[in-house]
Amino acid sequence: MKLIPQVKEAVLGENRKIAGCKFVFPDNCDQRLINAAEKTPKGETIVNVNIAGNNSDAYKILIDDEITVNADSVKGAFYAIQTIRQIVKNGYCDLKEINDSPDFEVRGFYYDITRGRIPTLESLKKLVDTLAYHKINMLQLYVEHVFPFKEYDGIYQRTGCMTAEETRELDAYCRENFVELVPSLSCFGHLYELLSTEKYKHLCELENHEEKTIFWEQRMSHHTIDPSNPESLEVIKSLIDQYIPLFSSDKFNICCDETFDLGKGRNKGKDVGELYVGFVKKILDYVRSKGKKPMMWGDIINAHSELIDDLGEVTFLSWGYSADVQPDTINKLRDAGKEQYVCPGCNNWTSLIEILNASVPNIYKMTKYGYEAGAKGVLNTCWGDYGHISPIQACMYSIIYGAARSWNATCEYEDFDPSMDLLYYGYEGASKIVKTISNSYRTCYWYELVCDYSNRKLGVDCMRAWRSVSPEELDASFNEVEEVIPYLMASKWENDDAREAFLCVAQGTECMMGMLMSMKTGQKLGMNDADVEQWLKDYTRIYLKESKMGELKEFVKAMYELSMRYLK
């Protein structure tokens, strides 16, 4: 059976055609289950749903002339319905019994809506539908300035934002789909927009910091708040106060990662570990005083592990994004007896598309390590470094693979591609096309173009070490991606939004490769500035189908200037 996630235990039986269902629920059934069942095509097969009444996500499905669901809870029944929806999508079932339960209590997805791309409420609801279909039960949105905080007045009007009303509506929609929307707010590092203002620049750790490159680079690398200034904590408290009331979750992610500048400016000469822990403790205590369970990224505290017990009870988010990621940090937190989620990544940052030869092994290993270490959850991440240029459709393979591994971390998923083709893309062979584009893009680095655009020497991105590729590699990759474009133009996918996005990504990859080839050798790859201008129109149209304006204009400006520089 093509199922994502794959069920834990199944017993083979008679092969039955199941084209649709009619659900029978107990009296006074939770309306959310009825709503979920209505997404299944109607048919003659009766599905009787029984709910035991405890809190487990486990369920059993018995398949005969009728289908019987025995769920441990309302949640378990909801997940059983998702499995039945996927069985109907297959059109048949060769199983007579399914016993299923998740390996991780928390199965989450983390989406950056700050660094360029601000999704519309409608597209976020569609995302929630997809997450729930694949049994994800937590969503976090990374926020710095893209909310109408009073401290960011004059900024969010320029960059765009997600409003309080939209946040409340999304929170309610998540609850309808058994997804917990957890607030996630940058509270220490990554405060570029706040600390660049006249009103708050005195709170920046780096005194009189001068920007020498474009804001994309500055936003990634600098602007940590000064923890020794009492006003800093009051500002962070104010941000938290404005944000917490919008969420029904009992959790709050304070982030506090990548405080790169700490101890290098106003606090130079002080103990960095003590500075960090001292400020974080105050934020944690404040969040707890609001009745919330705090969580935070674990990268900085792991460098000062001797102080970790000073932070009290907190869930740590252990991230690692490389294909050869090691379990050291995860095991260190396990040995310290700390609650943690493991956090792999879609590897879409600084790219038009997820880099699957990095994301798939990374997700596989992180979920494996987490399962072996007894981690409470998985939080698969989709970051937006340098403008968040990748469409959400061009990240869904990694997102859904992460969902699969979060539920069933012992399954090898050798049939994942045909399952993805059926259940998401709606086109046989789609995953092969996606992988071809992703593999081609491996030689086409937006970060390299960003460096050239900002007259900056190619260096090391904080997430991944880049290398300058050869003209021969570019030419070979260009030919690879050029071959799939006719297929994308002619094929009919059930999920046409995905097909359209991949066509745009493939053509954009050609544009970027043309720029890079010209930059390196002066040679042309069939690209000119008119090609880029037309592509930017297509990209803009697709971008605005799923996102607000955000920083789209900045990306368009950069691409246009680069095309004038190299393709004119």
CA–CA gap between residue 534 and residue 536 (Å, rounded)? 5
Q: How many CB atoms lie within 10 A of CB 148?
A: 15
List the single range of 203-212, 246-255, 289-298, 387-396 with lowest mean pLDDT.
203-212
Q: What is the pLDDT of residue 457?
A: 57
Whether the pLDDT of residue 188 is over 90: the answer is yes
CATH hierarchy code of domain 9-100: 3.30.379.10
3-state secondary structure of 437: helix
Q: pLDDT tens, 118-127? A: 999 999 999 9
Calculate what percentage of the chain has a pLDDT beyond 90: 88
The residue ranges of DSSP E strands in 298-444, in sequence order, are 315-319, 340-343, 377-382
Q: What's the Cα-to-Cα distance from 222 to each of 15, 72, 206, 209, 465, rounded to whole Å?
A: 59, 48, 8, 9, 19
Q: Are 41 and 89 in contact (CB under 8 A)?
A: no
CA–CA gap between residue 354 and residue 229 (Å, rounded)? 40
Tell me the whole-structure pTM to 2 decimals: 0.97
The answer to whether domain 9-100 and domain 106-413 are alike in fold is no
Pick the CATH number of 106-413 from 3.90.550.10, 1.10.3720.10, 3.20.10.10, 3.20.20.80: 3.20.20.80
Write phi, then psi, for 473 (nearest 5 degrees).
-65, -40
Whether the pLDDT of residue 485 is over 90: the answer is yes
Whether the pLDDT of residue 460 is over 50: the answer is no
Selection from 222, 221, 188, 220 nearest residue 208 by Cα? 222
Arithmetic mean of pLDDT, 269-285: 98
The full length of the chain comes to 568
Hey, CA dihedral for 309, 314, 315, 317, is it positive or negative?
negative
Q: What is the pLDDT of residue 445?
A: 79
- Reduce the secondary structure of 96-122 to three states and give it as a string: EEEEECCCCCEEEEEEECCCCCCECHH
Domain boundaries, the chain: 9-100, 106-413, 430-566
Arithmetic mean of pLDDT, 487-512: 97
Arithmetic mean of pLDDT, 77-84: 98
Whether the pLDDT of residue 215 is over 70: the answer is yes
Category of 141 on φ-ψ map: left (φ > 0), alpha (ψ -120 to 50) or beta: beta
Whether the pLDDT of residue 155 is over 60: the answer is yes
Selection from 462, 372, 382, 437 nearest residue 409 by Cα? 372
Q: Which residues contact 92 (CB under 8 A, 6 or more apart)?
A: 15, 16, 17, 18
pLDDT confidence bin for 12, thresholds 50/70/90: very high
Q: What is the pLDDT of residue 568?
A: 85
Q: Which residue has the higher pLDDT, 468 or 199?
A: 199
Question: Which pair of tokens denotes residue 195?
Answer: 């600390």
Question: Which pair of tokens denotes residue 94?
Answer: 């060769």
Q: What is the pLDDT of residue 281?
A: 98
- C-alpha atoms less than 13 angstroms from C-alpha of 534 in its C-beta half-sphere: 7
Beta bridge partners, 252, equal 294
Whether the pLDDT of residue 465 is over 50: the answer is no
Q: Which residues contact 521 (CB under 8 A, 6 or more apart)?
A: 471
pLDDT confidence bin for 463, thresholds 50/70/90: very low
Judging by beta carbons within 10 Å of its beta carbon (0-12, 13-18, 19+), is residue 82 exposed, middle or buried? buried
Question: Which pair of tokens denotes residue 309?
Answer: 């017990």
